[in-house]
Each structure stands twice: as structure tokens, then as C-alpha cells.
Amino acid sequence: MIDNVCVRVCCVRAQVWMILSGAEHPHELAYADILSAATQAPVSDSSKQIDKDVHRTFKDKNLESEEGIEELRRVLLSYAWVNADIGYCQSMNFIAATFLLYLGEEDAFWYAVSLRLRAVVRMCGRTAL
């Protein structure tokens, strides 16, 4: 019974995060296209740092599997490619990994993008996107 409640709470949490962040809205580019471009891009400082950091992330959680590590790597590479002005900063792996504990790979990516856009808008002094 408790496990069933936890699963429902996690599902609701994921839906609420996506709605409140605006990440569930349609996007100009498909995640698959962004991921393809990011993984085909030349090796960068960001991709080198990501490859170092993903194996150090949440060893005790469900990201310890090779599949979990690859999901995290893809989210970070895609995020760094879309936000080339920022790229990858150390410890973003822990933020993205937390998103992946509750969201699927594509949703975790769009959630990270939406949070970054909102932060930039606030720093620029605008009230809405």
C-alpha cells in the first residue's frame, strides 16, 4: 500500500513540476533532434567535464546503472548544447540527476531548460517570457 502511494505522489510531483515550470508546452525543436545535434557535436570542454562527472553522481540511487548514467549524460549534453553560452557547470549533474529521479529523460531536459529561461528572464527584469 505504501509503495503504491509513493508511486502516485511521485507521478503527481512530476506533473506539477512540468505544469508550473511551463516545460510541458510544445517546443520549437524536438528533444530527439537536439540530442542528435548535441551527441554529434565536436568534443568540447563541457562534454569532457560531463563524462567525468556523470560517474560520480548519486551512486546510491537508481542512476548507478549504465542506463541511468547514459540518461544523465544525454540530458547534460543536450542542455549544454542548447545553452552554449553557459555550457556545463560542475555540479549540474546533481541537479539533473535529481530531476531524473522524478521525471523521464526528455521531461528532465525540458524542465532544466524552462528553469534556466525563467532565471534569465528574472535577471533581465522582465515579468513574462
Which domain CATH number covers 74?
A: 1.10.8.270
Closest CA to 117 of 89, 91, 65, 79: 79
Q: What does the alpha-carbon distance between residue 97 and residue 120 come to, in Å, rounded to a whole number?
A: 22
Q: How many domains does the chain have?
A: 1
Q: Which pLDDT band, with edges at 50, 70 and 90, does 21 fall under?
A: low
Do the domain assignments include residue 88?
yes
The whole-number pLDDT of residue 77 equals 95
Do the domain assignments include residue 118?
yes
Is 114 in contact with 23 (CB distance < 8 Å)? yes
Record the pTM. 0.75
Q: What percent of the chain has pLDDT over 70?
A: 67
Q: What does the alpha-carbon distance between residue 9 and residue 31 come to, in Å, rounded to a whole number?
A: 26
Can you read off the three cell numbers belonging to residue 81? 548544447
Q: Is the pLDDT of residue 50 over 60?
A: yes
Provide the domain limits for residue 51.
2-124
Could you read off the pLDDT of 78-118 as tens digits, one per residue? 999 998 887 888 888 998 998 888 889 998 999 888 887 55
Residue type, 80: A
Q: Is the pLDDT of residue 4 over 70?
A: no
Q: What does the alpha-carbon distance between residue 28 and residue 109 come to, in Å, rounded to a whole number?
A: 14
Do the domain assignments include residue 129?
no
Q: What does the alpha-carbon distance between residue 74 and residue 86 come to, in Å, rounded to a whole number?
A: 17
How many CB atoms sit inside 10 A of residue 37's CB?
Answer: 14
Q: Is the pLDDT of residue 45 over 60?
A: yes
